[in-house]
Amino acid sequence: MSKKNKFLFTYKLTQVLSGIVAKVVFKRKFIRNEIKGKKGPIVIVGNHQAALDFTSLIGATNEHISYVVSDSFYNTLPLKKPMDTIGVIPKQQFQTSIKEVAQMRSVIKKGGILMMYPSGLMCEDGLPTPIPRATYEFLKWLGADVYAARTSGTYFCTPKWSGKIRPGTTYLDIYKLIDKDDLANMSPEQIKNAVDGALDFDAYREQEKHMVKYLSADNVEGLENVLYICPNCKKEFSIHTKSKNTLYCTECGFAHTSDKYGFLHNSGSIGDEIRYVSDWSRFVNARVREDIESGRLTSLSSYATVQTIDHEKRKYVDIGRAKITLTQDSFIIDGTLNGEEQILEIPHLSFASIPFSPGKRIDIQNNKVTYRCILDDGKLAQKFVNMVKVFYELNEER
């Protein structure tokens, strides 16, 4: 098979398989699809609610789309050759190398379509991760028409904190956001306002408009790892689940039960009702920020099993044990790695967040190396993430 035919076959197969996911899991419906029939050069920017958001987009046009994906995703799937064949571009979240910039620029120069998820990470609470400021300057430098691909509902289909698939109707709105001629005359701040305005979301408030029933949407098991502070008594790590659909505080008795749409209702007699998981998460983040600004919270530590990617095996493998400490400026990994005593200091202020799995692990990126830290105290994962977010916010404000 020729290289061109191999590409066409692989890409078409990817579209077919993705189309099955889009139909069966996401039950995708288009609001608009202005990318259909369009040729490049085009940059598509999308919001990121779920790990498989790309499956809803790849069949929106017959034209080839070059996807920017996380380096970890690229290097741990047993699909390197197919991904290389269709031109996937691996990239570390919140870090960009000259090679990656050149690959993305090449797509545009050749008149192609480039797909980016600027926030870099799927959400854990129905809210987006901030977009790094350099993204807006990068879009201006690329100099191509910018389209927005805005998904709604995919968060509920595959919530990060659950790990289970919950099929239900989702929506995809693809439309031209910025013409390349207008882009040339816009400042990075103007580009930021346009992109942020298009991609910002609150999955729970959007659900109020659509009122979609997702499979087992009332099951909140795992959500306690995200909403780990009680809004009533302010106690940390006192939130637990019972009967699959109720979050409750073991300290004060505060209890909220989820309905079939994913909304919360006060099912006890204590405290005020918090209808949206996103609002509860905002409270948690505000509490962390208050603790950091007051000086009550300056660092966080946990012992962990540390892993890195074995590129031959294409999976994460154990390389040792270490104490993981987050300070205001850096992550410190102190332990035995690859049989040697090491102390690594990795600055994090450019990280708007970090990849993680609620209740289990955090990933610390250091250029092309990602240290996956399986925490002994898994419930600290979300607190690590929230602290990174606050440190990033404070740094941006300065």
Whether residues 59 and 189 share a domain: the answer is yes
- Beta pairing partners, 335: 322, 342
Let me know whether 47 and 196 are in one domain: yes
Residue 103: which residues within 8 A CB-CB, separation 6 or more?
89
329 and 364 belong to one structural domain:
yes
Residue 218 included in any domain: no
Please report the pLDDT score of residue 85 as a whole number: 84
Q: Structural domain tally of the chain? A: 3
Task: Judge if 204 and 232 occupy the same domain.
Answer: no
Same domain for 262 and 383, yes or no, is no
Whole-angstrom CA distances from 325 to 74, 377, 387 are 27, 13, 12
| pLDDT given at position 69 | 87
The answer as to whether 80 is a domain residue is yes
In a domain, residue 315? The reply is: yes
Cα within 13 Å of Cα(2), Cβ side? 3
Domain that holds residue 327: 300-397
Q: Same domain for 240 and 361? A: no
Per-residue pLDDT, 278:
98
Q: Verify that 249 and 179 share a domain, yes or no.
A: no
Same-domain check for residues 112 and 26: yes
| Residue 233: predicted pLDDT | 98
Select from 294, 326, 349 the last residue of a domain. 294
356: domain CATH number is 2.30.29.30
Choosing from 210, 237, 266, the residue where a domain stops is: 210
Residues 196 and 58 in one domain: yes
Render pLDDT for 165-177 as a digit per residue (tens, 0 to 9): 999 999 999 999 9
CA distance 226 to 181: 43
- For the whole model, what pTM was predicted? 0.94
pLDDT band at 339 (very low <50, low <70, confident <90, very high): very high
266 and 373 belong to one structural domain: no
Same structural domain, 304 and 287: no
Q: How many CB atoms lie within 10 A of CB 340?
A: 8
Is 216 a member of any domain?
A: no
Across the range 81-88, mean pLDDT stands at: 83
Please check whether residue 217 lies inside any domain of the structure: no
**For 301-310, how does the pLDDT look when each residue is reduced to its tens digit (9 = 90+)?**
999 999 999 9
Question: Are residues 306 and 288 both part of a single domain?
Answer: no
